[in-house]
Structure 1
Amino acid sequence: MFKRLRNKFMILNMTIITVVMISAFAAIYMITYSNIQRENQIKLTNIMMSPIMMNSMSKSDEYNNTGRVFVGKIPNDYASTFSVLVGENNTLLNVHSYLDLTEDVYTKATKLATSSNKDSAVISIDGQRWLFQINSMNANLIIKGKSGITQAPVLEQIYFMDVTESYNILSQLLLTFGVISIVMLFVIFGISLFFARRAITPVEIAYEKQKQFIADASHELKTPIAVINANTEALYANKTETIESQQKWLDYITAETDRMGKLVSDLLYLAKTDSEAINSQFAPFNISHVVTDVLLTMEAIVFEKGITLSQNIEPDLIVNGASDKMKQVVIILLDNAVKYVNENGKIEVALKKSRNHVLFSVKNSGSGIPKECLPRLFDRFYRVDASRVHDGGYGLGLSIARAIIENADGKIYCTSVEGESTTFVFELIRKE
């Protein structure tokens, strides 16, 4: 399922980026093509209007019977141009050229230009591209030859300019875009695959956690439901007995019902935390008073178990949050320390300020927590000691503590030295 989702995400990402890239390249190419065409057209128009070209075509060819006129020094702007005069039936009458081309090239150029039915276009001759412009005329060309002087009517004057280099630039640009596109497709594929995996990983983790949560919750509910069902059957089996004589079955049912009620309450709180719906009661409060009050209520339990309790509480430390929820966190951590402290062990409680933070820590002596268990310690239903599954809790206490602390923009963590001690610490932003 997640593999298909990742592939769909990657394909969508590649498609969008590819379309954008091709659109950008196409726009650049079209703009470049349009600019080159316009520049070539302007250059040819300026050449047509220049006195050199206009005057040269008004002279007769007195010295060359081949129809070509050569000017001694070639101006730079006209080095790649030539022009022809065309008479009736598209007959080539005269050529004015600065290029060393064969008569066949001039003839082909004239034929292609006159047969194109366009006033201006680009033609291709032997791999070269020529931009031409046709001007209509109504004049006569005087030709001196061996048979004497003759006049030929001139119907059109056609100017040609070599634009092969411009088209080579466009072809090179197109080739460059093609190579870049192929390279970019591979790069985009790698990037898309990387980000697709990163985007899907949190979803996959959340899905696996949800599956694990459902399995754990079902397992935790199975036991009290089984106990309630067994005690209910015991009541049905002794219908004639009085309620007082069957009080123990009712007590079992009540106890398991209370446990399930606590489980449902804890799960509802965690659900609210996930939806970020419990921030409305936040306000500055004195956390020193909260910790002191909790320690007072725990003294009797600690004394009965023979545990040594030491405390170092700095007075009047103010933090922002919900005081009742923060009290719940302190109770959870202290209760956890009492449960897992070794016999006649020691618990150290500290509350102090550190720059702009308040640090609360609970350290208990004992067997400690294995290093590989620390990353999962705050997961829902997780227990380090599998033998204590039915100790009255559900393994949600530390998850609730983390949810409360993180909801107050703080952080909570645990450090442990196996065989020596375990320390839980949470940090909150201190208010002045």
Structure 2
Amino acid sequence: MFDKLKKKFILINMSLLTLVFILIFGTIYISTAISMDRDLEHQLRGAMFNPRKPAGPDSPMMAGSIIIDLDTDNNIANVLTFMEIDKEILEDAVYKIIKSDKQFDKVKLDGNSYGYMKETINKGMKIVLMSREPQINALSSLLRSYLTIGSISLVGLLFISIYLTNRTIKPIKDSFEKQKQFIADASHELKTPLAIIRTNISVILDNKEDNISNQIKWINYINNQTERMAKLIDEMLSLAKLDTGKELIEFSTFDLSKLLNNILLTFEAVIFENKIELETNILNNVFLKGDKESIKKVFIILLDNAIKYTNKDGKIYVELNLDKNKIRLKVRNTGEGIKKEDLNKIFERFYRVDTSRARKTGGYGLGLSIAKSIVESHNGKIYAESNIEKDTTFIIEFNI
């Protein structure tokens, strides 16, 4: 599909470029031809109205020119030229010129093109002819130059077009592949809880005579899996809304310091239960213009992520400060850390560094993707730093 799209783009680009070249070179070529015709007309007019002089250095005559005088009966009375021309050929050309309604035009003479001008005088008619071969040769040379330059330019532009087309299509292709992968991953994630639900329902159906209290274990399993599915679907919908810009975001100025402290209070019990030490350094009265609920969701995602991946008897450190024109929020947790090659991938959808561990903690690999989308919708930046077997830090920066 993308190969066809690429070929179509290249074909359209090259067709348009070829058309532009034809228009530019065609316009220059036609303008040059018109200019040469004007010059020829000017030369013919000069030869027509200058007094006739004997051939010599000061003569108005030029090589390849002919001056013909006709009598009142349109017979050739006198011919002034440096060339030898057959009388019949000359008479045939004169006949055509006389019959023409145009004072200035072109005529063929002995296989060559000539420009002519005729003027009626008292004693008959005067005709001046000048060879157009120099102009024709110049135009032919110009055309060859244009064809050469145009061909070389189009070949060069073809390679540039291929390069630019590849760059243009790559984000589209990547987006399409991510969408396919997203659907495949979502299907895979939904398949597991559905299989568990189906199995537990089968167990319940096989023991219809048992009362509810005996079946409670299987019902709890089903309930847990439906909650997991509900969470997954909710996260997928959030991402879809953020991608399409349909997520309702209401910007207002709020106290970010107060928001973070309030969220930390709700997590204190969970942190204590997991035997994790919490250290904070939150600067007071830091205000941010943004969507309060969205920013709350981001911090909860980061804090929840830190709790999941902090090692036993580990530590979580939360810091909020101002650095020049930026608000910087850091959430650091001790633990295994993340490999350098995985640092940029962790914000991709459904990406998990440790799949088995993520499944145990109930993660789908969507939280950080949601956090990134929200931060970017606030014109902010989120990234991660890590030291293997030591700690991982998530950093968010907002412009003030």
Q: Give the whole-Å Cα distance in 2 for the aligned partners of 1:288 and 1:44.
A: 91
Cα distance, 1:73 vs structure 2: 4.7
Give, in whole Å, the separation in 2 of the partners of 1:277 and 1:341.
Answer: 34
Deviation at 1:15, TM superposition (A): 0.7
Change beyond 3 A, Cα 1:418–1:106 = farther
Q: Would you say 1:104 and 2:74 are equivalent positions? A: no
Gaps of 5+ in 2: none
Give 1:137 shift.
4.8
Aligned counterpart, 1:19: 19
Q: Give the alignment's TM-score, normalised by structure 2.
A: 0.91
The within-5 A match list for 1:276-295 is 276-278=245-247, 280-295=249-264
Q: Is the 8 A contact 2:249 2:294 kept in 1?
A: no
- How many Å separate the matches in 2 of 1:3 and 1:187? 21
Q: Which residue of 1 aligns with 2:161?
A: 192
Note closer, same or farther for the CA distance 1:186–1:115 as it changes in structure 2 (3 Å cut).
same
Q: How far 1:303 moved relative to its partner?
A: 2.3
Aligned-pair distance for 1:78? 4.2
Shift of 1:210: 1.4
Structure-to-structure mapping, 1:79-228, within 5 angstroms: 79-80=62-63, 81-87=65-71, 91-97=75-81, 101-104=82-85, 108-115=89-96, 117-118=99-100, 119=102, 120-123=104-107, 129-137=113-121, 139=123, 155-228=124-197
2:365 aligns with 395
Aligned-partner Cα distance in 2 for 1:178–1:27: 14
Distance 1:125 1:187 in 2: 44
Which deviates more from structure 2 when the two are superposed, residues 122-131 or residues 171-180?
A: 122-131
Give the direction of change, closer, same or farther, for the CA distance of 1:23–1:359 in structure 2 (3 Å limit). Answer: same
Among 373, 391, 396, the residue aligned to 1:421 = 391
- SS of the counterpart of 1:349? strand
Q: Secondary structure of the equivalent of 2:26?
A: helix
SS in 2 for 1:381: coil
The aligned residue for residue 3 of structure 1 is 3
Separation (CA, whole Å) in 2 of partners of 1:110 and 1:425: 96
Aligned CA distance change for structure 1 residues 336 and 389 (closer, same or farther; 3 Å): closer
* Equivalent residues of 2:380, 2:398 under 8 A apart: yes
User: Relative to structure 2, which stretch is displaced further, 239-248 or 311-320?
Assistant: 239-248
Give 1:17 shift: 1.3
CA contact (8 A) 2:55 2:61 kept: no
Distance 2:320 2:301 in 1: 16
Alpha-carbon distance in structure 2 between the residues aligned to 1:106 and 1:344: 118
Gaps of 5+ in 1: 57-69, 140-154
Paired residue secondary structure (1:377) = helix
Contact 2:93–2:109 (CA<8 Å) still a contact in 1?
no
Cα pair 2:197 2:225 within 8 Å, conserved = yes
**CA shift at 1:427, angstroms?**
0.8
Alignment partners' CA distance in 2, 1:43 and 1:272: 76
CA distance in 1 between counterparts of 2:194 and 2:398 reads 40
Q: 1:365 & 1:323 partners in 2: Cα distance? A: 28
Percent sequence identity is 37
Distance 2:363 2:222 in 1: 17
- How far residue 214 of structure 1 moved from its aligned partner, in angstroms, is 1.2
**Counterpart Cα distance in 1 of 2:247 and 2:109:** 80
Give per-residue Cα distances to partners, 1:314-356, cap 9 Å, x unaligned.
1111112111111111111111111111221222111011111
CA positional deviation for 1:21? 1.4
Which residue number corresponds to residue 410 of structure 1? 380
Partner of 2:270: 301
Structure 1, 420-429 or 297-306: larger mean CA deviation: 297-306
SS of the counterpart of 1:274?
helix
Q: How many residues align?
A: 395
Q: Which moved more, 1:371-380 or 1:84-93?
A: 84-93
Structure 1 position 38 matched with structure 2 position 38: yes
- Secondary structure in structure 1 of the residue aligned to 2:359: coil
SS at match of 1:319: strand
- State the partner residue of 1:329: 298
Contact 1:270–1:403 (8 Å) recurs in 2: yes
- TM-score if structure 1 supplies the norm length? 0.85
User: Which SS does the other structure have where 1:194 is aligned?
Assistant: helix
Cα shift at 1:268: 0.7
Q: Residues 84 and 159 of structure 1 are in contact (CA less than 8 Å); yes or no, is this contact kept in structure 2?
A: yes
